[in-house]
Amino acid sequence: MTGQSVSDVSQNVMANLGWDDVRLPNPLFEGDTVYSMSEVLQTRESRSRPDVGIVTVRTIGFKQDGTPVITFRRTVMVYRRGHGPQLPEVSSS
């Protein structure tokens, strides 16, 4: 589930700070299709680093019939807009 949510939640992650309240309410079986949904619960500026922020999300993983199979909260440190690492320019020639 964490990997599925990277492009939505933590593409610019600097560090994973923790996973909390991990629950596995129902079994998952071979052949099940897994989906995930994340919701931002909280954002704040870092107290010590002005170029990053702290984001907490709740993720729910569920199988094809909508049954939840995992829930957790994850806290990540992300670069603030305009402060991420600069990628080298790609030449189009």
CATH number of the domain bearing residue 28 = 3.10.129.10
Which pLDDT score, from 0 to 100, does residue 79 have?
Answer: 86
Q: How many domains does the chain have?
A: 1
Look at residue 93 and tell me if it is in a domain: no
Asked whether residue 84 is assigned to any structural domain, the reply reads no
22-35: per-residue pLDDT in tens? 999 999 999 999 99
19 located within any domain: yes
Could you read off the pLDDT of 66-89 as tens digits, one per residue?
999 999 999 999 888 777 776 666
In a domain, 89, yes or no: no
Q: How far apart are CA 59 and CA 84, in angstroms?
A: 24
Buried b (16+ CB within 10 A) or exposed e, 53-86: bbbbbbbbbbbeeeeebbbbbbbbbbbeeeeeee
Q: Is residue 86 part of a domain?
A: no
Say if 68 falls within a structural domain.
yes
Which domain does 34 fall in, by range? Answer: 6-79
